[in-house]
Amino acid sequence: MSPVRAKRASRHSARAKPTKKSSFSSVHFHSDRQDWSTPQELFDRLNDEFDLIWDVCATTQNAKLPLYWTPEIDGLSADWRGKQVFCNPPYSQTAQWVEKCATSGAEVCVLLIPARTDTTYFHQHIYNNPRAEIRFIKGCLKFGDAQNSAPFPSMLVIFRNEQS
């Protein structure tokens, strides 16, 4: 399946004016919003370190990279083999995306998810995976246009399949 090609993805996703109702903590627990943007400063540091090419969870409005997949062309079933990918998945489908990240054969896959260490997917695909490097993030991230920091900690997981 072909990726979307943009001339150049904006370094900043479209931002709606925040309202009290859309603060992260109320939305996280009471809404199905799935598109909280990765903090740009964090993404830029990751991009500098890993030379990321593909944003596998995106829309045209919020893609962090020039190449990206959207719900319509489905990044989950796309072929990531040999690619350098970034994945900040929709929270309602974290388990499926974690499995994909762990099994995709991407050259490098940088995954940003809530640090839920009690989950089956954490133990199955991350904690017991020798190819997974875990980086717990100190403090709580302020995502996208949220007024407040997230009410949970996050972690980065780096899966590598680098050719030696």
Ligand X SMILES: C[S@@+](CC[C@H](N)C(=O)[O-])C[C@H]1O[C@@H](n2cnc3c(N)ncnc32)[C@H](O)[C@@H]1O
We find the least distance from the C-beta atom of residue 38 to ligand X, in angstroms, to be: 4
Nearer to ligand X, 110 or 132 (CB): 110
SS3 of the chain: helix, strand, coil, percent, to 5: 25, 20, 55
Nearer to ligand X, 69 or 121 (CB): 69
Which residues are at the interface with ligand X (CB under 6 A)?
Answer: 13, 34-38, 55, 57-59, 62-64, 69-71, 74-76, 88-90
Nearer to ligand X, 112 or 164 (CB): 112
Joined tokens for residue 3? 């990726």
- The CA-atom distances, in angstroms, between 14 and each of 35, 41, 91, 144, 162 are 11, 16, 19, 9, 34
Nearer to ligand X, 115 or 163 (CB): 115
Backbone angles phi, psi at 109, to 5 degrees: -130, 120
β-partners of residue 61 are none
We find the least distance from the C-beta atom of residue 156 to ligand X, in angstroms, to be: 12
We find the least distance from the C-beta atom of residue 71 to ligand X, in angstroms, to be: 4
CA 129 to chain CA mean position, Å = 19
We find the least distance from the C-beta atom of residue 106 to ligand X, in angstroms, to be: 15
Question: Looking up tokens 């302020």, which residue turns up?
Answer: 142
Helix ranges, the chain (H): 24-30, 40-50, 94-103, 120-121
We find the least distance from the C-beta atom of residue 47 to ligand X, in angstroms, to be: 11
Nearer to ligand X, 63 or 106 (CB): 63
